[in-house]
Structure 1
Amino acid sequence: MTNSTKTLYLFVPATRLDRVAKAAATGANVVIIDLEDTVTDAQKTDVRADLIVFDQSSEHRYWLRVNASYSPDHAYDLDCVTNLNHVDGIILPKCQNAEQVEHLYQACNLPVIAVIENPVGVANIAKIAAAKGLYAMSFGCLDLLHSHGVRMGSKAAGVLFDKIRTDLLIHSLANSVHPPIETVFVDFNDEQGLMACVRHWADFGFGGQMAIHPKQIAIMQKALSISEDELNFANKILAEYQRTGDTVFAIDGKMVDLPLILWAKDVLGDA
C-alpha cells in the first residue's frame, strides 16, 4: 500500500516529447515537460513550436517548466502557454520573489510551483509563500550548492538543505499552501540513497518529489509504501476510535490522541 497523499513528478525534456506517454505510464502522478535546462538556447524557438503541435494532438495532461523570470526566453514561454490546452500548472525555476510568482499566475492563470535555487530566493521564502497563485514551493539542490559554495554530499549540504526544508514547510503551512515538493535526487543509479531521501522528506511532511529518470518512480513508490506494522497499528487505532468515540486512549502501550487518529484515517483512506 502506497501513501497516496504524496505526489511524484517526472521530468521529460521538451526535446523528447515522444517520452511523455512513457513517463505517464511509470505511475508518476504528474509529468513535467521541461523548457528550461534540458533545452539549449539554440533549440528553444523550435521546441516551443513543437510543443504547441504536440499539445494539440495529445490527450496527456502535464505541468510545464518555463525559463526563469529574468531570462529573455521567459516572455516567449508565456506566449507559448497561451497556445497550450493540456497544461495543469507551471514550474517557475530560480524564483527570487513573490512578484515573479504573481506575474506568472496573472499571465497564465495557472497554479505555480516556485523553485528556490539561490540565496535571494531563500531569503524571501516567507514572502514567496504568500504569493497569489502559488501552489507549492520546491528547491533546486545543485544550484543552491553552487550559489552557497557548499560541497555536494557533505554534512554541510545536509544542514543547508534541512534548514531550507524547514523554512519551506513552516511558511507553506502558515499560508495554507500545498506542502513543499522535494528536489530531484541526482544519482538515479543509487536506489538505497533515493529511498533514504524519500523517507526523509516524507518524515519532514513534504508533499512529494520531482524525479529525473523513469526508474526512480517505482523506487519512490516503494519507499512510500506503508509497512505491515503501520497498517496494523492504524487499524487498531481506528477500530478503537469507532468502538468508543474517544479521542484519547492507549493502543499497545502507546498513547493515541486526535493527530494519530487522523493519521490512521489517512493511512487507511477512511474519510
Structure 2
Amino acid sequence: MSAQLALARAFLFVPADRPERHARALATGAGGVIVDLEDAVAPERKVAARESLAASFAKLPEIDRQRLLVRINAAGTPCHDDDCAQMGVLVAQGLIAGVVLPKAERAAHLSRIAEATGPKGMLVPLIESAEGLAAVDELAAGPQVLRLAFGNLDFQADLGLACDADEAELVSVRLALLLASRRAGLPAPIDGVTPDWRDASRLAADAARARRGGFGAKLCIHPDQVAQVQAALGPSADEVAWARRVIDAVRAASGGVVSLDGRMVDAPVVRLAERLLALEHP
C-alpha cells in the first residue's frame, strides 16, 4: 500500500482527455490525482482518451506517477473491460498507482480489476448507490483496496434524495463507510465532492464535517479546492504539539506508567498521537 495515498487528504479529479492538465493537477500538491475516464469524458472520446494515457503519464516524473489513480468506467459499461486491460498495462509499467472503480457494488468486480492490474495495483471503490452501501463491508475487504470513497452526488441521485447543503440525510451513510473502513483495517475514507468550487465557505463547512465524521480525505473537482481541503483535514498546530508531548512522555517513561497534564496516557491516546503526527506531512 502507498503510504502517501493512504494519508492523502485531497484527491483532485482531472479529465483523462486533457493531457495538458495532468501535470498541472499534480503540481497543485494534491495527495492524489484521479484521471477521470468516466464522467469527465464524452462517450465518443473514451477510447482515444484511454489510449493516450500511457504517453501522457510517461512524461511525468516517477515520484508524481505514484500519486496517480485512474477512474475507469463502471462494471457492465461498454468500456469497462478494455479499461481494466489498459490499467494492467499502466500499472505494470509503473505509470499509475491504481484504479478508482465508480459505482462499486460487487467484490467480484474488484477481484477482476485486481487480477488485471496485478498485486501492485491499488483499488479505491467509490460507493455511489444503495447496492454499493449494502455491500460496503464486502468491498472494504476486497483485494488490494486502498481506501473507500463516497460519491455523495450520485448516491443522492440513486436514492432520489434532495439533500440540503449540510447533507444531514447522509450522516448514517458516511458513518457506514467509516465503520466498514475500520473493520477492514483501512485508512480513513475519502469524502465526496463540493460541487460549487467557487463557494469557499461551503467547502470549509463540508471539509469540517468530513473531519468531524472521521473522514481523512476529500474529493476535489477544481485545483482551487486543494489547499483549503489539505489544511482543513490536517492536524492543527495545537494538535501536533500535544501529540509530540504524548510521544515524548511515553519515550521518557521507558515502558513505565505515563501521565500527562494529570491524565493517564493509555494505548488509544498513544495511537491518536501517532496518527496526528503521521498526518502532519502527508
After superposing the two structures, state which structure 1 stretch, 214-223 or 5-14, moved more. Answer: 5-14
Paired position in structure 2 for 1:244: 253
Partner of 2:70: 64
Cα distance between partner residues in 2 of 1:6 and 1:49 = 28
Inter-partner Cα distance in structure 2 for 1:68 and 1:143: 13
- 8 A Cα contact 1:117 1:139, kept in partner: yes
Question: Are the structure 2 counterparts of residues 199 and 257 from structure 1 closer, same or farther at C-alpha, using a change threshold of 3 Å?
Answer: farther
Matches within 5 A, 1:4-43: 5-43=7-45
1:9 aligned counterpart, secondary structure: strand
2:173 counterpart residue number:
164
Give yes or no for contact 1:248–1:258 (8 Å, CA) kept in 2. no
Cα gap change, 1:242/1:184 in structure 2, threshold over 3 Å: closer, same or farther? same
- Equivalent pair of 2:85/2:116 in contact (CA under 8 Å): no
Q: Is the 8 A contact 2:12 2:219 kept in 1?
A: yes
Q: Do the aligned residues in 2 keep the contact of 1:52 with 1:80 (CA within 8 Å)?
A: no
**1:265 pairs with 2:281:** no
Question: Over residues 136-156 of structure 1, what are the superposed CA-to-partner deviations in whole Å (9 max), with x where a residue is unaligned?
Answer: 21121111111111113266x
Stretch of structure 1 that moved more, 16-25 or 81-90: 81-90
Q: Distance in 2 between the 1:78 and 1:243 partners?
A: 51
Structure (1 or 2) with the greater helix fraction: 2
Q: Structure 2 vs 1, CA of residues 247 and 164 (structure 1 numbering), >3 Å: closer, same or farther?
A: farther
- Equivalent positions of 1:202-221 (< 5 A) are 202-221=211-230
TM superposition score normalised by structure 1: 0.87
Describe the shift of the 1:57–1:244 C-alpha distance in structure 2 as closer, same or farther (beyond 3 A): closer
- Structure 2 Cα separation of the partners of residues 115 and 204 of structure 1: 18
1:169-219 per-residue CA deviation (whole Å, 9 max, x = no partner) reads: 212221223331111221211222222322322233323222111011111
Q: How many residues are matched?
A: 264
Distance in structure 2 (CA, Å) of the matches to 1:227 and 1:7: 14
Gaps of 5+ in 1: none
Structure 2 residue 139 is the aligned partner of structure 1 residue 128: yes
The 3-state SS of whatever aligns with 2:30 is: coil
Distance apart, 1:10 and its partner CA: 0.9
Q: Is the 8 A contact 1:247 1:258 kept in 2?
A: no
Could you say what secondary structure the match of 1:136 adopts? coil
Is the Cα–Cα contact under 8 Å of residues 99 and 122 in structure 2 kept in the other structure? yes
What is the CA distance between 1:258 and its match in structure 2? Answer: 2.5
Matching of residues 3-152 of structure 1 within 5 Å: 5-59=7-61, 60-61=64-65, 62-84=68-90, 85=93, 86-109=95-118, 110-152=121-163
What is the Cα-based RMSD across aligned positions, in Å?
2.3
Q: Matched residues in 1 for 2:236 and 2:88: separation?
A: 45
Q: TM-score, normalised by structure 2?
A: 0.84
Say yes or no: does 1:197 pair with 2:219: no
Does the aligned pair in 2 maintain the 1:117–1:144 contact within 8 Å?
A: yes
Q: Cα–Cα, structure 1 residues 106 and 254, in superposed 2: closer, same or farther, change >3 Å?
A: same
Residues 177-188 of structure 1 mapped to structure 2, 5 A cutoff: 177-188=186-197
Kindly provide the amino acid, as one letter, of the partner of residue 194 in structure 1. L
Comparing 209-218 and 52-61, the one that deviates more: 52-61
Residue matched to 2:3:
none
Q: Identity over aligned residues, as a percent?
A: 31
Give me the whole-angstrom Cα distance separating, in 1, the residues matched to 2:70 and 2:84. 11
Q: State how far apart, in whole Å, the 1-side matches of 2:252 and 2:59 are.
A: 54
> Residue 248 of structure 1: CA displacement?
4.8
Q: Is the 8 A contact 2:249 2:258 kept in 1?
A: no
